Amino acid sequence: MRRLRTLQGVAVRGKRVLTRIDCNVAVDDDGRPVAGGQQRLEAVIPTIRDLHQRGARIVLLLHLGRPGGKVVEGLRVDDLARRLSLLLGVPIQYVPEVCGPSVREAVDHLGESDIVMLENLRFEPGEEAGHEDFARELALLGDLYVNDAFGASHRAHASVSILPKLLPSYAGQLLAREIAVLSGVLERPAHPAVAIVGGVKLETKLRLLANLLPRVDHLLPGGGIANTLLVISGASLGGGLREREPSAEIRSLFAAHRSKVLLPTDVRVARGGDTSRALVLPVSALRSTDTVLDLGPGTTAAYCRVLRSARTCVWNGPLGRFELPAFAEATRDVARCVRASETFSVVGGGDTVRAFTEMDLLDHFDHVSTGGGAMLAFLEAAPMPGLEPLYDKVH
């Protein structure tokens, strides 16, 4: 047995608490942060507010984008400091460096309940490379360490995987909640349990499916995953999105759990490459030139019948190419069924959360994970280097 260490009952007043948060809001093709990402900012507030109210001297650590170990002007975190400060209603001092004398001075001058935010950790090559020396430098700035950066905890980066081994370390509230919800879904799901898995490629969701399929009662596939499963089951799909040749691993996984998988019976296609209109077709009527971009209404109705009696639902991956208005229907329709159902619903994934944010449907779910890749890693039962150091063994 093991137990996650939290801050409950820990004396933090006057202590310098290195608080790793994840405010990695989306960045555009040029690597610049785009507006939005408010969900991720709001999610880290409870831990910071708690530390503030308990009189800690707070040092916020975070990253933004992929600067690749050097200073990139557009990826400075001053704007995040400003936005977090607005949400908190408390000033946050921003220091435009990660290490060095100015950082040490700012931290030395912190009073109880004061907050300082250091510059983008990924400006230092040691962060992503997981250098112990870099983690040691950070450790000098604190007495305690708190990880509330679930979204970064699948990475072996210095500030999440090494730093917690150098100081007394604890899980923040967001992190503890993510672990409680996701491990609950994996280990003790209320049945019937349903997995909805969409997205581009089955290959990237294979380990997720392999870990979820034995635990759930139904798989409702969408996107490229559905297309590939249709191909395996013998349908002749045309130019639709699918693997070139489904691997033996995919075939055997599907065969082992065939009875749990609902296959689409109708789809929406872009005929002749015209993506402005969706043509609804039964799967049996597909032509080899049709591009399958969404599930059809008959299929979503069948998925909704399953969801009606579901008690647990975990969803990753849009069901169609939702960026095109004509092909956002299935994703939207099934989200409405999730809301209408009594099911406990968990949703996550970078593009999935973006889809539901754009559709303004995030509130249809009981838990929206702040970790895109981290949620997938957790649900795949992949190693989580940022979480391991936060557990105590209990006998």
* Whole-angstrom distance, CA of residue 143 vs CA of residue 13: 11
Counting contacts by CB under 6 A, is residue 231 touching ligand ADP?
no
Quick one: 74 or 325, whose CB is closer to ligand ADP? 325
Counting contacts by CB under 5 A, is residue 50 touching Mg ion?
no
* Whole-angstrom distance, CA of residue 65 vs CA of residue 122: 8
In the list 156, 200, 280, 326, the residue contacting ligand ADP (rule: CB under 6 A) is 200
Neighbours of 247 (CB within 10 A): 14
Quick one: 92 or 353, whose CB is closer to ligand ADP? 353
Counting contacts by CB under 5 A, is residue 351 touching Mg ion?
yes
Kindly state the smallest distance separating residue 323's Cβ from Mg ion, in Å.
12
Counting contacts by CB under 6 A, is residue 351 touching ligand ADP?
yes
- List CB contacts of 331: < 8 A, sequence separation 6 or more: 198, 222, 294, 318, 319, 320, 322, 355, 356, 359
Counting contacts by CB under 6 A, is residue 154 touching ligand ADP?
no
Kindly state the smallest distance separating residue 363's Cβ from Mg ion, in Å.
22
Count of residues that interact with Mg ion, criterion CB under 5 A:
2
SS3 for 109?
Answer: coil
Kindly state the smallest distance separating residue 288's Cβ from Mg ion, in Å.
28
CA separation (Å) from 50 to 80, 117, 217, 242, 256?
Answer: 19, 16, 39, 47, 48
Burial of 222 (C-beta count, 10 Å sphere; 0-12/13-18/19+): buried
Place of tokens 């969404």: 294
Kindly state the smallest distance separating residue 233's Cβ from ligand ADP, in Å.
17
In the list 84, 293, 334, 338, the residue contacting ligand ADP (rule: CB under 6 A) is 293
Neighbours of 83 (CB within 10 A): 18
Quick one: 170 or 356, whose CB is closer to ligand ADP? 356
In the list 24, 161, 169, 316, the residue contacting ligand ADP (rule: CB under 6 A) is 316
Rg (CA), the chain: 23
Where in 12-31 is the site for Mg ion (CB under 5 A)?
Answer: none
Quick one: 309 or 357, whose CB is closer to ligand ADP? 357
* Whole-angstrom distance, CA of residue 77 vs CA of residue 96: 8
- Residue 198's binding partner out of ligand ADP, Mg ion, none, with CB under 5 to 8 Å set by partner kind: ligand ADP
- Residue 217's binding partner out of ligand ADP, Mg ion, none, with CB under 5 to 8 Å set by partner kind: none
* Whole-angstrom distance, CA of residue 377 vs CA of residue 348: 11
Kindly state the smallest distance separating residue 351's Cβ from ligand ADP, in Å.
3
How far is C-alpha 343 from the geometric centre of its chain's CA atoms?
20
Neighbours of 86 (CB within 10 A): 11
Neighbours of 339 (CB within 10 A): 14
Counting contacts by CB under 6 A, is residue 299 touching ligand ADP?
no
In the list 108, 249, 323, 342, the residue contacting ligand ADP (rule: CB under 6 A) is 323
* Among the residue ranges 119-127, 154-162, 275-283, 350-358, the one whose residues contact ligand ADP (CB under 6 A): 350-358
Which residues form the interface with Mg ion (CB under 5 A)? Answer: 350-351
Which residues form the interface with ligand ADP (CB under 6 A)? Answer: 198-200, 223-224, 241, 292-293, 316-318, 320-323, 349-352, 372
